[in-house]
Structure formats: C-alpha cells, structure tokens
Structure 1
Amino acid sequence: MIVVFAAAGALIFGTADSAETSRIVVDDSVCRSLVVHEPDPGVEYQPGVDVYGRSVAPADLPGGQRLDLGDEIAIPLIVDLAQRFPDRLAEAGLDLKASLGTLTIAGDEVRFDGAPLDDSLVDAIAALCAGQRDDR
C-alpha cells in the first residue's frame, strides 16, 4: 500500500508492506528545494566593526532608559469586529472585540497560544531527506 501526504507543500510518500516495515520517502524535488543555511566563516556580528572590518563608533548613547521587560512578553491578539464591519455591526454599546489568541515571546522562542511558531515540520522533512541521502 502507498500512502501520500501533502504537508507544507511537500509530497511525502509512505509505503507499507506486510513483509517490511513502513518507510517514508520524500520526493527528490522537495529535498532539493530545502535550503540549509550555512553562514560563511566570519559573518557573525562583531561589535565595533563594520562589514569591511573597519572600526565604528558604538551605537549605545548615554542617558537612555533601559526597560526591564522581564523574561517573557505576552501580546494579546484582538480584533474589533465593530470597527472591521461597521455597516453590519453598528449596534450601539456592544463590545465586539474578539480574542484571536496570545503571542508570547520568551528569549528567541515565539509561541501562539502556547504552541511554538517554528519550522519543526520543515526540519522533520529535511531530516527525512538527509536519511534518504545516507541510504544511497
């Protein structure tokens, strides 16, 4: 039996026979489209140096305020339906604000209603592609 999944625009084929274990195969064109970022040596940020290696003045100015935002920032995502659809929802005195969820930023992680916003699906497909290359 052959099972076909379409995930994030990728074609993933799964095969299952009673005699062998299940195997997932990603189409070669999908594997070629996945680009793994490998930065050139020496491109990391270096304070006080421009892209040509010349010294630059620091961007920190004296007298500025430092805000203590804590470890986590939660941003409620709300849409005002009365403002969006004034012709249809012109009822006076109604609170028509709908909560879409909460965007939370903690360090370098962003979450929407607790679920991470990342490329975990793309990472999983890339791992399958790497496994296919190793099998050849």
Structure 2
Amino acid sequence: MKKLIPPMLFLICIISMIVIKSLVVFKEIIPQPFNYLGIVPVVIGALMMMVVSKIFNKVNTEIHTFRKPRRLVTDGLFKISRNPIYLGFAIMLVGVWVLLGTLLPVIGCLVFVVIANLWYIPYEERMMEQTFGSEYLTYKTKVRRWL
C-alpha cells in the first residue's frame, strides 16, 4: 500500500468516477449548467493544496506520506485541519462529482475519504507522534482531523 500515494489514489478515484458515469446510465441529479458549480470546489481544493505545498517547501519539511517529516507545521490551514491536503483532495473530488452531475460517482469521493481516514492519516499520525512526541499530541488535541 506504500506504493499507492494519495495523489495516485486521487487520480484513480477521478478516473473511476468518470468510468462509473460513462458505464452506468443514471438519472442526472445536477443538470447543466448548474453542474458547472463543481468548478468552485475543484479550485478551492487545488488552492488549498498549493498553499500547503508552498508552506512545506518554505519550512523544508516532507510532503510525501511515507517519508519522515522534518518539521511539525501548525500554521496556516493547519490551524483548522490536521490534514488540509487530504481535505483539499476530498473537496476537489466533490467538485468533480458535482461536475459529473449524477449520483453514483459519489463512490469515488467516499472511497478516497475512507482510505485516507483508515490508512493514510493513521499512518501519518503514528509517524508524527514518534517524531514530534508531546508537541504533536498537544497539537492533535487542539485541531481536528478533517475540520
């Protein structure tokens, strides 16, 4: 599972959502042009991830899920979410779902959130606890996992 990094899972989820919409004819729940509102969460999620990536580069810490972090980041978006990158991916997937306009592609959103919540985030939290100890545990009590 360490080879399946979150951006790859994100892409797999998007592709799956598009395939589901293409293969399974299902009633449209968000008709055109209202489905174009999905662009808003896609942009918001992408901006969130770009901001976090910039912060990680600035403080010279690791963004890769399976590599040891060099610094605990608690500023910016990390004041409202311990996982703003996963939140950004999830928001973008919701945007893609809205753009697709049918119900079944929501499965891609759910798959990403479940895997992130059950695999990636617990792995990262263990690593953060081992690396930063009580500093991370204190931070963890102050900021929620998602929002």
* TM-score, with structure 2 as normaliser: 0.19
Higher relative contact order (CA 8 A, sep 6+): 2
User: By percentage of residues, which structure has more helix?
Assistant: 2
Q: Which has the higher strand share?
A: 1
Q: TM-score, structure 1 length as denominator?
A: 0.20
Rg (Cα) greater in structure: 1
